[in-house]
Amino acid sequence: MPLFESLKSQVSEAWPFVKKVLHQLKYPSAIAAVYGLLDWHFSGKPFSLAAYLKLCAPALFFIMWLVAMYERERKKSSDKEALSGLSSDIQSLKSLVTDLGSSRHASLPASAPIAYGTSFSQQLMAEADGVFRSGHKLAALLQAGVAFEQAVRSFAIRKGLAAAERMPLLTILQKVDFLLPQGWQGEIHMLRKIRNQLAHASKSELADIENADMVFRTYGLAIEALESARDA
């Protein structure tokens, strides 16, 4: 029957939430029940279900209030730790950008606009270049990081690491580190770290156009180096 099916569907949707609430009530209810039994035992009065429930209900309410206070303080502590970790990541990103800026390829003078190729990574970089020129630098750097990842995966597969398609990027680089283009090992590892931390950066962290330009251009140069090494 449609009514039965509708009711069954609603119960199925609500059950996970009901189950979660019941799980949260499990220990507080047990403590309140024990409290009520102890009070009845030591009072010496005849057992009365009504009196027992009247005693347990306020006890359960008080215990749940304490649990809510604890959970709120725990969330505050967790939020503070997350904020502290985010600040640390941003500072680390600044350090990585500074280190990258002093590297050999990143310090090369900016040349004419790059003519992107037809590979998947180059197509992603061409799209990112348009986004970058429109002023959305952080979004462009995020896409450049994706293009860089695809270039690394393609490089590893060409070098015989067939499983690279599903491996974490760090694992891939550890396995093909000795095969990376000569002179690019350090910068490629720095670009991976920058890629991982860009998601935590705000506009203020990359407000310096020169730094954003340098990181973006180095992504393009690294992709070009990885792809030109296919026959090496």
The pLDDT value given to residue 96: 65
Interior angle at CA 210, CA 207 and CA 211, nearest 5? 70
Domain boundaries, the chain: 2-82, 103-231
Q: Which residue has tokens 């749940």?
A: 64
The pLDDT value given to residue 86: 46
For 160-188, write each residue's pLDDT tens digit.
888 888 889 889 999 898 888 888 888 88
Mean pLDDT of the chain: 79
Assessment of whether the complete model's pTM goes beyond 0.85: no
Looking at residues 45-51, what average pLDDT do you find?
84
How would residue 3 be classed by pLDDT, with cut points 50, 70 and 90? low
Contact 168, 63 (CB under 8 A): no
Going by C-alpha positions, the residue among 148, 164, 132 that lies closest to residue 223 is 148
The pLDDT value given to residue 111: 52
Looking at residues 20-46, what average pLDDT do you find?
83
Q: Of 123-127, 159-163, 204-208, which range is least confident?
A: 204-208
Looking at residues 187-200, what average pLDDT do you find?
82
Q: Is the pLDDT of residue 53 over 70?
A: yes
Classify each residue of 49-86 as buried b or exposed e, where b means 16 or more C-beta atoms within 10 Å of its C-beta.
eeeeeebbeebbeebeeeeeeeeeeeeeeeeeeeeeee
